[in-house]
Amino acid sequence: MFRRVQALDDKVIDNIIKFRSPLKNRIMIAASTAGNGGMIWFAICMPFLIYAPWRVTGANIIFALAFTQTLCELILKHIVRRERPVWKLADEEQLIHRPKYYSFPSGHTSASFCVVSVALMRCSPITTLIVFICAVMIALSRVYLRVHYLSDVLVGMVLGLVCGLASVSLFDQLLQAFA
């Protein structure tokens, strides 16, 4: 099964080059950069933390990001230790710097989709849609830029959604315990 997944991942990575253009390259680099360190999610979180009626949502997003990134970046990546596709590329084929750490699962994607889960549970449909569009763009950019395989991103999506949903439940329990 793993060979089939790797074969599909390799095929997707090999075919990405057919879809590249200077404009798409700039868009995807911007989307990926927005996801660096959860930058976009912390920026989106600021109004939630400032405006008192939304503060629980903002705090829940930060909690979800910490929970998801601990699981993804500190635990799973170091257990699986999957090499990134970009590590196999020549320098002139790269559009962004080579990430230092492992590929599976995608940390940008898991962080993005944990925020989608929190938004789904706590925000208006329009806010959730905006968050979802940003998350999809970040996830697509990671494959487009060949820093992740498709399966890294798909597992990152599922991991993020599950962690985000779990964080809402855990966060509500914490609020009740300290109320």
The pLDDT tens digits for 10-56 are: 888 888 888 889 999 999 999 999 999 888 999 999 998 998 899 99
The per-residue pLDDT for 95 is 72
- Examine residue 3 and state whether it is found in any structural domain, yes or no: no
CATH number at residue 57: 1.10.606.20
Asked whether residue 7 carries a pLDDT value surpassing 80, the answer given is yes
| 127 token code pair | 């806010």
- In angstroms, the CA 98 to CA 101 distance is 9
Asked whether residue 91 carries a pLDDT value surpassing 70, the answer given is no
Each as own residue / partner, the long-range contacts of residues 57-63 (CB below 8 Å, 24 or more positions apart, any chain) are 57/118, 57/122, 57/123, 59/171, 60/118, 60/122, 60/167, 60/168, 60/171, 61/115, 61/118, 61/119, 63/167, 63/170, 63/171
Helices 39-50 & 107-122 angle (0-180, nearest 10): 30
Range(s) of the domain holding residue 119: 23-178
Identify the DSSP state of 146.
Answer: T
- Examine residue 9 and state whether it is found in any structural domain, yes or no: no
Per-residue burial over 125-151, b if 16 or more Cβ lie within 10 Å, else e, is: eebbeebbebbbbbbbbbbbbbbbbbb
- Examine residue 17 and state whether it is found in any structural domain, yes or no: no
Task: Count how many domains the chain has.
Answer: 1
Q: Indicate the residue type of 54.
A: W
| 120 token code pair | 């789904």
Mean pLDDT of 73-94: 82
- Examine residue 73 and state whether it is found in any structural domain, yes or no: yes
pLDDT range class, residue 92, cuts 50, 70, 90:
low
- Examine residue 6 and state whether it is found in any structural domain, yes or no: no
Q: Indicate the residue type of 9.
A: D
| 66 token code pair | 């910490």
C-alpha atoms less than 13 angstroms from C-alpha of 17 in its C-beta half-sphere: 8
The pLDDT tens digits for 101-137 are: 888 999 999 999 999 999 999 999 999 999 999 999 9
Q: How many residues does the chain have?
A: 179
pLDDT over 90 for what percent of the chain? 61
- Examine residue 51 and state whether it is found in any structural domain, yes or no: yes
- Examine residue 101 and state whether it is found in any structural domain, yes or no: yes
